[in-house]
Amino acid sequence: MQNIYFPLDWFFITLIFFSGAYCMIVSKNIIKLLIGFEIISKASIIAIITSGYLISNINLAQSIIIVMILVEAVVIATGLALVVKSYRINKTIDITKLSNMKG
């Protein structure tokens, strides 16, 4: 399955990136935020693999993707742990209510 049209991929990557960015900007729920973060990571994975295909060095792109996936998983896990703990303390997961350090 060769003959991949490079700008088509990047068109879709732009759309996915925009969706994730919109979700991060608009939401007040912390877990929705993390979902938006996840979506952006997906977009960047596709970006790397298409660039790897362009240079015709896919194996390097694969090893970078493996590192990225692991980083993403660890970040999400720690973030969700913090959200759950914060829910136990503050009884809310609204991001505008976390204001006890505001100056």
Q: Which of residues 32-71 bind other proteins (CB under 8 A)?
A: 32, 34-36, 38-39, 42, 45-46, 49-67, 69-71
Count of C-beta atoms within a 10 Å radius of residue 61: 19
Query: Quick check: helix, strand or coil at residue 28?
Result: coil
Q: Is 10 in the site for other proteins (CB under 8 A)?
A: yes
Strand partners, 29: 94
Q: Output the smallest distance, CB 98 to other proteins, in A.
A: 9
Q: Output the smallest distance, CB 37 to other proteins, in A.
A: 11
Q: With the CA atoms of 56, 59, 61 and 63 taken in that order, what torsion angle do they form, in degrees rounded to the nearest 10?
A: -170
Q: Is 100 in the site for other proteins (CB under 8 A)?
A: no
Q: Is 93 in the site for other proteins (CB under 8 A)?
A: yes
